[in-house]
A and B are shown apart, each in its own frame.
Chain A
Amino acid sequence: MNRRIEDTPGLNGGDYPVIATRLDAAINWIRKNSCWPQPMGLACCAIELMAAGAARFDISRFGAEVMRFSPRQADCMIVAGTCTYKMSGVVKRVWDQMATPKWCIAMGACASTGGMYRSYSVLQGIDHLIPVDVYISGCPPRPEALLEGFMAIQRKIEHSKGFSALKSPHPAPVEAEALAGPIIIRGE
């Protein structure tokens, strides 16, 4: 039915305030405040990830307490722990199954560069495998550092071209140059 929005009772800016904004900004705001992590918890960093999800550090403040283990339902993969070569195929497959737009946090030294495990079985950093948006150093990083990293992802989302990101493959294009490449967070 062709009813104009101004004619709808109650929508004259009085009882039901309507916020007019750019579609991009609205989509980005929604997206950044409900960024569901895919916790690829591999090793010790996973415990600090769990601590970040628990009551004290409360990742729920960021809309991210919904840790979705299914990649189909997740936005941001947090690789927490050492990725061995045996596990690398699994990590890659789960990443590929995530729908765009998607982001990746390399949590901890092992996920960033292989950490202190310079050995025959450890992948020296998951960026050999998947594109990383935020690196968080630390062994393990404090939960606050993970939250800092998560906030960096939120900044990236906020400045991304929200609507066009629906159609483009990863990485979603960002407007600000400073946020274009990977961000590095100090973890301790």
Chain B
Amino acid sequence: MNTPEAIQLLKSRFGDAVTEHPVFRDEQGVSLPRERISEACRLLKTEAGFNVLTDLAGVDNADAVPRFEVHYLLYSLSARCRLRLVVGVPSEDPVVDTVSDVWATANWHEREAFDMFGLQFRGHPDLRRILMWDGYSHHPLRKDFPVAGLPASLPATAEDAGAVESAPMAGGPFVSATGTRSSPRREPRSFETAAARDRAVTDPDRKEEI
């Protein structure tokens, strides 16, 4: 079954809950409500032949509602086609059902999404951190977490290795913000001064060094 047929299958089972994305660079995706994801994945694997889960990624959309998204990239070996499923996850209740019982590979991907974003996968056999150590207290890929990092504590075995400090950024990173075109905030290009300038624009009474 190829991708458009698989989307039809989803629509026939879930009706209006399935929203099809416009085709972009020959890629096809659909959005689903998070309650349906486990059922949809099982359906696509058993009836549509999508036997490989290529990737599972979390995305943090900062101010959007819902804040988080989980992207499932499915692949069918027989039909050689891909399909992307996108599920929105609100920040006040970051829980979504696991698909590790559908594809075994989802196990580590979901652990990584938990580690990096704090997304909980209901029913996961072993949901703990995978890339950071177990006692780490932040979720690094969230948009409110700086790339330089925040102070944290190391595991007890490494107590004589000091402590985790923020990396020295020297005013950087020196790029314009994502999503902007010809940015009037190009000069200077530091995030901190750009943010300060924004604050000055919205609140002229505020005295601050730019």
Residues of chain A touching chain B, judged by Cβ–Cβ distance below 8 Å, are: 85-86, 88-93, 96, 114, 118-122, 124, 128-129
**In contact, A89 and B167 (Cβ under 8 angstroms):** no
Instruction: Determine if B184 is an interface residue (Cβ-Cβ < 8 Å).
Output: no
Task: Count contacts on B: residues with CB < 8 A to the other chain.
Answer: 27
From 152 to 204 in chain B, residues with beta carbon under 8 angstroms from any chain A beta carbon are: 152, 154-155, 157-162, 164-169, 172
**In contact, A119 and B160 (Cβ under 8 angstroms):** no
How many Å lie between the Cα of A77 and that of B46 in the bound state? Answer: 53
How many Å lie between the Cα of A138 and that of B146 in the bound state? Answer: 27
- Closest A residue to B129 by CB, please name it: A86
Instruction: Determine if B94 is an interface residue (Cβ-Cβ < 8 Å).
Output: no
**In contact, A88 and B167 (Cβ under 8 angstroms):** no
A127 to chain B, nearest CB (A): 11
Q: Which of B132, B145, B168 contacts A124 (CB 8 A)?
A: B168
- Closest B residue to A89 by CB, please name it: B158
B171 to chain A, nearest CB (A): 12
Question: Which 6 residue pairs spanning A and B have beta carbons closest together?
Answer: A89-B158, A120-B149, A88-B161, A118-B167, A89-B161, A92-B161
Instruction: Determine if B65 is an interface residue (Cβ-Cβ < 8 Å).
Output: no
Q: Is the interface of B mostly helix, strand, loop or mixed?
A: loop
**In contact, B161 and A114 (Cβ under 8 angstroms):** no
Max chain B C-beta neighbours (<10 A), residue from A88, A93, A118, A124 = A118
Q: Contacts A89-B154, A120-B145, A120-B148 given: A128-B162 contact, CB under 8 Å?
A: yes
**In contact, B148 and A89 (Cβ under 8 angstroms):** no
Contacts of A93 in B (CB 8 A): 157-158
How many Å lie between the Cα of A85 and that of B138 in the bound state? Answer: 14
Residues of chain B touching chain A, judged by Cβ–Cβ distance below 8 Å, are: 131-133, 138, 140, 145-150, 152, 154-155, 157-162, 164-169, 172
- Closest B residue to A85 by CB, please name it: B164
30 contacts between A and B (CB under 8 A): A85-B152, A85-B161, A86-B132, A86-B133, A88-B154, A88-B158, A88-B162, A89-B155, A89-B157, A89-B159, A90-B158, A91-B161, A92-B160, A92-B161, A96-B160, A114-B167, A118-B148, A119-B167, A120-B140, A120-B146, A120-B148, A120-B164, A120-B166, A121-B132, A121-B140, A122-B167, A124-B168, A128-B162, A129-B161, A129-B162
How many Å lie between the Cα of A187 and that of B145 in the bound state? Answer: 34
- Closest B residue to A129 by CB, please name it: B161
Contacts of B167 in A (CB 8 A): 114, 118-120, 122, 124
Contacts of B140 in A (CB 8 A): 120-121
**In contact, A119 and B147 (Cβ under 8 angstroms):** yes
How many Å lie between the Cα of A91 and that of B161 in the bound state? Answer: 9
**In contact, B169 and A118 (Cβ under 8 angstroms):** yes
How many Å lie between the Cα of A86 and that of B149 in the bound state? Answer: 14
How many Å lie between the Cα of A94 and that of B132 in the bound state? Answer: 21
- Closest A residue to B138 by CB, please name it: A120
Contacts of B166 in A (CB 8 A): 120
**In contact, B162 and A118 (Cβ under 8 angstroms):** no
- Closest B residue to A96 by CB, please name it: B160
B168 to chain A, nearest CB (A): 7
Q: Which of A85, A118, A120 contacts B154 (CB 8 A)?
A: A85
How many Å lie between the Cα of A178 and that of B189 in the bound state? Answer: 42
Contacts of B146 in A (CB 8 A): 120
